[in-house]
Amino acid sequence: MNQVHLVGNLTQDPEVKKTAAGKSYVQFTVACDDGQDSQGNRRAQFIRCVAWEKIADAVGAYCKKGNKIAVNGRIVNGSYEDPKIKDRRIFTTDVVAASVEFLTSRKDGTSEAVIPE
């Protein structure tokens, strides 16, 4: 079973982009708390995520750097050739969002929203 559930904060403002076919998507990074190390310092994992279409539009419209969100999705591995170094492959791991829940409440007092795919 390939399921991922993340809760964390956005590391930057999301920017919605379009594919050549006009499909909207957004790539964003979620900083997730990873407990403390042996010296008591807080640790975080920075997880790359991607959302498509309706979810991408909602994330782009309502989220900004620092907002707490929950992402449910699946892990997708990929690779591409490094354009700067011949014969070098770069391997990637991303979470493709199936749903995103906004956990930071808006100033006008509206409740949380869940955006399913």
Q: 115: closest CA among 77, 106, 103? A: 103
Given a cut of 90, is residue 40 above it in pLDDT? no
Given a cut of 50, is residue 110 above it in pLDDT? no
- What residues does 84 pair with on adjacent strands? none
What lies within 8 Å, CB to CB, of 114 at 6+ separation is 99, 100, 101
In the chain, which ranges are E strands? 4-10, 17-18, 24-36, 42-52, 68-81, 89-102, 113-116
What letter represents residue 14's amino acid?
A: P
**Token pair belonging to 93:** 């791991």
Given a cut of 70, is residue 12 above it in pLDDT? yes
Distance between terminal CA atoms of the chain? 19
Higher-confidence residue: 106 or 86?
Answer: 86
What pLDDT shows up at residue 36?
A: 86
